Amino acid sequence: ACALAMASPPPRSAVRCQAAGACFSVHLANASYADARAACGGRRGSLAWLSGETELRLLLWLLADAAAGSAPSLFWVGLKRNASACTDAGQPLRGFSWEGAGGGVAPQEVPAALGRWVKEPVRSCLAARCAGLHLAAAAAPDGGPSWGWKE
């Protein structure tokens, strides 16, 4: 999932923009985190990052449309924990942070609502780790996509 500049979203049906904010696009491919990051860069964007629930809802609906009710899916977003950072169970993103957002200035404080994990990340301070947004095939009780972060 890429975050793109509002001025130049690609002409695709898998793109959604906020009234005042980033555009998100979805590109389905079996790729590594590094390949996904490079693909977003080639589209003049970066891996998607979120600063609040409004962006989360927009991205979830876009991803759910792209996945079209298929089996569970994992979408790369710009969520990464560097080797020098430790897992922090007391934080919503567990020590992960948004990579490359807005020219490298990503929000570090995130709402607790963004702290939903499918499985808690490995407790470590020794290796860089990436996390993606996992969508389950079944809908959540509110009718929206069932989601969580997954390392």
At residue 150, the pLDDT reads 94
> Which residue, 107, 79, 119, is CA-closest to 95?
79
How far is it, in rounded angstroms, from Cα 119 to Cα 4? 29
CA angle 23, 27, 29 (to 5 degrees): 160
Closest of 86, 74, 76, 90 to residue 135, by C-alpha: 74
Which uninterrupted H or E stretch holds 63?
helix 53-67
CA distance from start to end of the chain: 16
What's domain 14-100+113-150's architecture? Answer: Roll (3.10)
The more confidently predicted of residues 69 and 49 is: 49
Average pLDDT over residues 70-79: 82
Return the bridge partners of 46, or none. 3
CA distances from 71 to 37, 64, 74, 78, 93 (A): 23, 11, 10, 23, 25
> Mean of the per-residue pLDDT values for the chain?
80
**Joined tokens for residue 54:** 């409004």
DSSP 67: H
- Answer yes or no: is pLDDT of 10 > 50: no
pTM, to two decimals:
0.80
Question: What is the model's pLDDT at position 109?
Answer: 65
